[in-house]
Amino acid sequence: MKLYTYFRSSAAYRVRIALNLKGLAYDAVPVHLLKEGGQQLKPEYRAVNPSALVPALDDGGTVLTQSVAIIEYLDEAYPDMPLMPSDPLGRARVRSLALDVACDIHPLGNLRVLKYLVRQLGASDDDKNQWYVHWVSEGLAAIEARLAASPQTGRFCHGDSPTMADCLLVPQVFNAQRFNIDMAQFPTIARINAACVELPAFADAHPSRQPDAE
Amino acid sequence: MKLYTYFRSSAAYRVRIALNLKGLAYDAVPVHLLKEGGQQLKPEYRAVNPSALVPALDDGGTVLTQSVAIIEYLDEAYPDMPLMPSDPLGRARVRSLALDVACDIHPLGNLRVLKYLVRQLGASDDDKNQWYVHWVSEGLAAIEARLAASPQTGRFCHGDSPTMADCLLVPQVFNAQRFNIDMAQFPTIARINAACVELPAFADAHPSRQPDAE
């Protein structure tokens, strides 16, 4: 398997965690989002993923895109070390927590969006940071409320082993910390994040541990 | 089943299509996103969904959130009239097309985001419209490229019967048309949309056909 990745991409980070949790080896193909005006925007990469976003996963010649779809695929095609519960309600809970990150938080802080705010709308650095902090804080507060209220929350987001929800939560917490968001506001998330990052699968997926890290 | 919905919410529209395609009856509970400063922001609705977003689905007392997770749940819990292919690669393709809408397009044009642009960043009506048109056009162009290039595209996004991908695509096209985006740029999407909207399941889910329509 080949993973088109960028060390600091939070969506790529999710897939790296999932691959590691499942014990699947892969070759990292770095796509630098800032160099050369963005390598993801070049025709060569658009031929891999017309959306010009990382990650993309090449499994035996078929290219898959969208981190959540990739993780679900890995879990279906390589069933050892499941990342999803077996019951439909549990699966719905894990998916919705993952999508709370993937749909409600992450798209608003993506590089291309922050660039648009600055270039097209003339946002200042302060405006941009406030925008980022606003959406991340609002999104994490909603996830915290869900996790804190549910008896299904365990050592991890859903029970006592990591699921797809944890694969999405940890990179989002990493990003929140980069923007100095105080995680003490979100004690359940902070506790789960701490439990995750001590596992080698999560630690090895960290941006600083990637071959293209700067 | 009870669906917390708003006639013009594109995420609720997705779930209405899925429920109709699967022939599942439901009671619509309208949540008006504009009245009373937004009924979704009231404590009563936050108790249903801490994210303060529609839709939410109550199936026998369990509340599910996130439209994509809800549709996947419906497909698992009520397997008649499947909305997902049976092979992992086909499922990954359908999921990734759905997420191209749910993660890369829709979050950027959501009501709360457009409000932030105007109120916090002082965006003009023109700025707001350009922002909307930019992300929708870019996102639909990527989906068009994928659909046009794949032999798996049929009468619908994936083969010749509707899947979750169509449930997401049609509401996004509806929104694009509200903002006068020329769908002739996206001929494959336009063709699939036309095939969908002639089906009663899609037609009955249309915003104008909802009990809370204005």
Domain end point (choices B81, B97, B124): B81
In this structure, the answer to whether residues B48 and B128 fall within a common structural domain is: no
B34 pLDDT tier (thresholds 50, 70, 90): confident
Nearest chain A residue to B105 by CA: give it: A107
**What ipTM describes this predicted complex?**
0.96
pLDDT at A84: 98
Residue pairs between chains A and B whose CB atoms are closer than 8 Å: 129
User: What is the per-residue pLDDT across A86-96, written as a single tens digit (0 to 9) for each?
Assistant: 999 999 999 99
Q: A156 with A111, same domain?
A: yes
- Quick check: is B212 in a domain? no
Instruction: Identify the residue whose tokens are 């405006």.
Output: A127
> Could you tell me which chain B residue has the CA closest to the CA of A78?
B88
Residue type, A36: E
| Chain B nearest-CA residue for A95 | B69
List the alpha helices (DSSP H) in chain B: 10-21, 43-48, 67-77, 88-102, 111-119, 125-149, 164-178, 187-197, 200-203
Rounded average pLDDT per 10-residue block, chain A, 214 residues? 96 98 97 89 90 94 97 98 98 98 96 94 95 97 96 98 98 96 98 98 98 93
Give dist(CA B96, CA B103) in Å, integer. 10
State the pLDDT at residue B117.
Answer: 96
Across the interface, of A62, A66, A92, the residue whose CB is closest to B100 is A66
Chain A positions in Cβ-Cβ contact with residue B52 (cut-off 8 Å): 142
User: Could you give the C-alpha distances from A114 to A26, A52, A98, A107, A128, in angstroms and in order?
Assistant: 31, 16, 22, 10, 7
Tell me which of A40, A66, A188 to substitute to probe the interface with B (most B C-beta atoms closer than 10 Å).
A66
Give how many domains chain B has, as a whole number: 2
**Co-location of A111 and A177 in the same domain:** yes
- A110 plus A182 within the same structural domain: yes
| Chain A CB within 8 Å of residue B203 CB | no
User: Is A108 in Cβ contact with B103 (below 8 Å)?
Assistant: no
Q: Are B63 and B102 in a shared domain?
A: no
Token pair recorded at residue B154: 């049929």
A99 and B66: CB-CB below 8 Å?
A: yes
* Domain interval for residue B45: 2-81
Q: Which of B97, B99, B189 to mutate to test the interface with A (most CBs of A within 10 A)?
A: B99
Of B52, B64, B95, nearest to A66 by CB-CB distance is B95
- Looking at B81, B110, B144, which one is the last position of a domain? B81
A76 plus A106 within the same structural domain: no
Residue B54: pLDDT band (50, 70, 90) is: very high
- Residue B38: give its domain's CATH number: 3.40.30.10
User: Do B66 and A116 count as a contact with CB atoms less than 8 A apart?
Assistant: no
Average pLDDT over residues B133-154: 97
Cα separation, B109 vs B65, whole angstroms: 19
pLDDT at residue number A187: 98
